[in-house]
Amino acid sequence: MADLSGKVAVVLGASAEGGTGWAIAERLARRGASVVVGARSLEPLQRLAAKINGHAVRCDAGREADIVTLRDAAVARYGRIDIAVNSAATPALAAIKDLTLEILQLGTQVNYFGMALFVKYSAEAMGSSGSIILISTMGVTHPIFPAVSYGCAKAAMECLVRYAALEYGPRNISVNSIRAGTIDSEMARSFFGSPGVAKRFEHEIPLGRLGRPEDIADCVEWLATGAYVTGCSIDVSGGNQLNRFPFLGELPGGGLNYHNHGALYDREHGRGQTFAPK
């Protein structure tokens, strides 16, 4: 069990109770870290902060000024940042034939541009060591139709991780991403509760079960302790990356619930992506 006593952590995208960001913030606090949580939705964020004796800051993960405010709040309260985790995401559902500039911008603003700025400003607040962790998706390597803009933006984010690892390595700051598979979070419960849906997903997972927010928190905890790892995108999917996501036609009802349940996905904004709920 990690001991993060005396460490200062920032977790962005943590307002969805039962979601990945929430679980990460709880875990880091449980291990002794002082945690600053950020998201657009302030009321649930404040409940989380009260629960973990942390500090809540309203932050739109796609706005540079908000990311700076989040960084400055952490520094003003605790003096520095040691661990920075960005779990925020915004989906952008459209096939290539339906893409518009607006959809492309929606896909990249939080999922790539915001991530790059989060790395920049978090690193500025770190001393002679630190750990920056970005939450990615298995959809980078296993296309999730029709999340073209979302998946491509996350792929760019994973490339960013490699560049950042080289730039900040001399300061003993590690930069990694976690490539999450399908996560049975509270928001996704009704989707996976539909008859036969969870079983079809589990068929593609060698470890035989859907992922849980705690599984992602496990990996964050390990990386946050100064693991000898940087520039990596780590699959946390129970081995799902060795197979695939189910195709639409393989789901009960032929995938007719695809768009209905998409809204269960987004970790920060409460909007949806279909096959990889976090």
Q: What is the pLDDT of residues 37-69, one digit of tens each?
A: 999 999 999 999 999 999 999 999 999 999 999
Q: Residue 78 corresponds to which tokens in the numbers above?
A: 């605790």
**Contact present, 12 and 59 (Cβ < 8 Å):** yes
Backbone angles phi, psi at 8, to 5 degrees: -115, 125
**CA atoms lying within 13 Å on the CB side of residue 34:** 14
* Residue pointed to by tokens 């995401």: 89
Strand partners, 69: none
pLDDT over threshold 90, residue 244? yes
Q: Residue 163 corresponds to which tokens in the numbers above?
A: 């560049």
Q: What is the pLDDT of residue 145?
A: 82
Q: What is the pLDDT of residue 249?
A: 80
Q: What is the pLDDT of residue 206?
A: 97
- Strand pairing category for 233-236 and 8-12: unpaired
pLDDT level of residue 146 (50, 70, 90 thresholds): confident
Lowest pLDDT segment from 166-170, 214-218, 250-254, 265-269: 265-269
pLDDT over threshold 50, residue 250? yes
Q: What is the pLDDT of residue 160?
A: 98
Lowest pLDDT segment from 87-91, 132-136, 260-264: 260-264
**Contact present, 26 and 217 (Cβ < 8 Å):** yes
pLDDT over threshold 80, residue 271? no
pLDDT over threshold 80, residue 184? yes
Lowest pLDDT segment from 54-63, 156-165, 192-201: 192-201
Tell me the per-residue pLDDT of 73-118, one tens digit each, with 9 for 90 and over.
Answer: 999 999 999 999 999 999 888 999 999 999 999 999 999 999 999 9
- CA 79 from centroid of its chain's CA atoms: 25
Q: Residue 193 corresponds to which tokens in the numbers above?
A: 């509760």
Average pLDDT over the chain reads: 90
pLDDT level of residue 266 (50, 70, 90 thresholds): very low
Question: Hey, what's the torsion of the CAs at 214, 219, 222, 223, to 10 degrees?
Answer: -130
* Residue pointed to by tokens 């973990």: 52
Highest-scoring range by mean pLDDT, 117-131, 180-194, 245-259: 117-131
* Higher per-residue confidence, 144 vs 132: 132
**Contact present, 136 and 179 (Cβ < 8 Å):** yes
Q: What is the pLDDT of residue 128?
A: 95
The answer for 206, left when phi > 0, alpha when psi is -120 to 50, beta otherwise, is alpha
Distance CA 263, CA 274 (A): 8
In the chain the domains, ranked by start, together with CATH numbers, are 8-183+212-237 (3.40.50.720)
